Amino acid sequence: MTEVHVGNIYYAEMVALRAELEREIEGKPGEELKVLADGFARKVQAAGFSVAEAMEALQPYIGPARPGKRAIQNAAPEVLYRDPASPENTLSGRGRTARWLADYEAQGCKRDEFKVAGS
């Protein structure tokens, strides 16, 4: 591993270095898994088995499928409030209050009046 002495680097260079590191880190797991998978497939085939047979034999190690972190992060948030005048205006309850709801509340309406059934 190359040793980097960051104490002698200017701030702007450190920021650029961090951005480069983050890009490299982002792709590393996929690269390393590809190398491991290729090696696994070659060993399995050299032993006279198909990759499908090997995958079936690995099932006890895999366990039940769970949604990954990205799947959870990318999931659309549940709609908690909807504007009756314009149904496309919704609010999930995350972040700032939507302008349409804030306007209704300023007119004296209660937030619960706009709650979506079942939420």
Tens digits of per-residue pLDDT, 37-82?
999 999 999 999 999 999 989 888 887 666 666 666 667 788 899 9
Selection from 43, 41, 63, 61 nearest residue 52 by Cα: 41
Could you read off the pLDDT of 85-114 as tens digits, one per residue?
998 899 988 888 899 999 999 999 999 999
Return the pLDDT at 50. Answer: 93
Return the pLDDT at 75. Answer: 73
Return the pLDDT at 69. Answer: 61
Cα–Cα dist 28/71, whole Å = 20
- Predicted TM-score (pTM) of the model is 0.41
